[in-house]
Structure 1
């Protein structure tokens, strides 16, 4: 059996003197899984995602992603890890309005040291695959919400990450655009991309996740195949 993409061992995160935001979580995600993390506000979903992304460090426990002990990384090492190992998709796209669509997608590759011509070719390939190549020279503000999220996914995938993290990827979209992104994530997973997504969108979880993990008060309350929730 192949090595896990994510392995969390007894991970706890405390802020100040309050109750832990994440409380003793042990979780393994294998290559090719699409895991939807569900739970009410304040359940620890975003904290868990930030720990996996290396944007935060656990108070206790270990976080290993694609063979990297993320909890041991300093700020510079964590930035390199994010560029090389993971792609991130956010609720509000986080595209740079003063860069064209193509330049937005190319940016992480160039920061990783990919030659500009190679980055441009990879960006063009992704934009075509994701159906937004006609907007390559446009600026993000001219695109619909669904199109901007497709551009954000292209940017997240440009360095061929082992893991795609998505934080409420349909939260800012209308119904039609949300369905568009749900289909896109499902297709990416069918092609083998490992995905962890945080969402309140039960339709998203049912349509593209192979497994759902429910959090309550920072702990895993339920972990089951997605088919069991349909």
Structure 2
């Protein structure tokens, strides 16, 4: 069973950043300084770099959670840097999925209801949403926990649930912020294998990480940021 990744033409850019900068306050160095970056549909890009290099800022700009001080951010043909608050929320519901280091699951909802939440917010019919959630939980190996609450799951299992939630609305782009950062070695290995499998099925992924094993396992290309600039780039 697959996750039914949206059909994407591998010869087109899905993410384009042009001369993107982001400064906070006055006088200090910018978090990003004139970044140019393209991610093609079907790629898995790992963004590496030390703390403070601009990795999370880059991810937030792609997600529409922040706006650049200058430059253009285009995702799936949409100028994300021009979106207002309501349009940004719609964009995140329909075009991206997000996975975080600390899962961000709702402890008072069951696993199934956590996964269903994005579909409910998007107005997907309940029967269709429940079928999709069941498909994802089975694909990601956590179907037996559908009626459990997140607090009863291991870290690796919670991250798999978070990935299922992120994929619920079939987003063209999956963003992952340190997805193995809060996991033990065995759980981290499972998430690395999962992300590699998703990319092999056609899911476009952009992740930021300190985990070189994650980049080696599931990235088709790596970019290293230093002081808000691209310092190195390589095919994995």
Deviation at 1:224, TM superposition (A): 1.0
Mapped to 1, the partners of 2:131 and 2:77 lie a distance apart of 29
Using the size of structure 2 for normalisation, the TM-score is 0.95
Residue segments in structure 1 that go unaligned for 5+ positions in a row: none
In the other structure, the counterpart of 1:191 is: 201
2:29 to 19, 27, 31: 19
| Deviation at residue 203 of structure 1 after TM alignment | 0.5
Distance 1:64 1:25 in 2: 13
Structure 2 counterparts to residues 189-228 of structure 1, below 5 A: 189-226=199-236
The residue number in structure 2 matching 1:152 is: 162
**SS at structure 2 position matched to 1:5:** strand
Cross-structure match for 2:7: none
How far apart are the structure 2 equivalents of 1:105 and 1:202?
A: 29
Query: Structure 2: where are the runs of 5+ without partners?
Result: 1-9
Secondary structure of 1:160 counterpart: coil
What is the Cα deviation at residue 2 of structure 1? 3.2
Task: Provide the rounded CA distance (Å) in 2 between the counterparts of 1:97 and 1:116.
Answer: 21
Cα shift readout 1:185-211 (whole Å, capped 9, x = no counterpart): 000000000000000000000111000
Q: In the alignment, is residue 83 of structure 1 matched against residue 102 of structure 2?
A: no
> After superposition, where does 1:159-178 map in structure 2 within 5 Å?
159-178=169-188
TM-superposed deviation, 1:116: 1.3
**By how many angstroms is 1:148 displaced?**
0.4
**Aligned length, in residue pairs:** 226
Runs of 4+ in 1 over 3 A off after TM superposition: none
- Aligned twin of 2:143: 133
Question: In the alignment, what sits opposite 2:70?
Answer: 60
TM-score normalised to the size of structure 1? 0.97
- Write the distance in 2 (CA, Å) between the matches of 1:107 and 1:117: 13
Matched position secondary structure for 1:195: strand
Whole-angstrom distance in 1 between the partners of 2:12 and 2:23: 29
Residue of structure 2 aligned with 1:123, choices 133, 137, 142? 133
Q: What's the C-alpha RMSD, in Å, of the aligned pairs?
A: 0.7
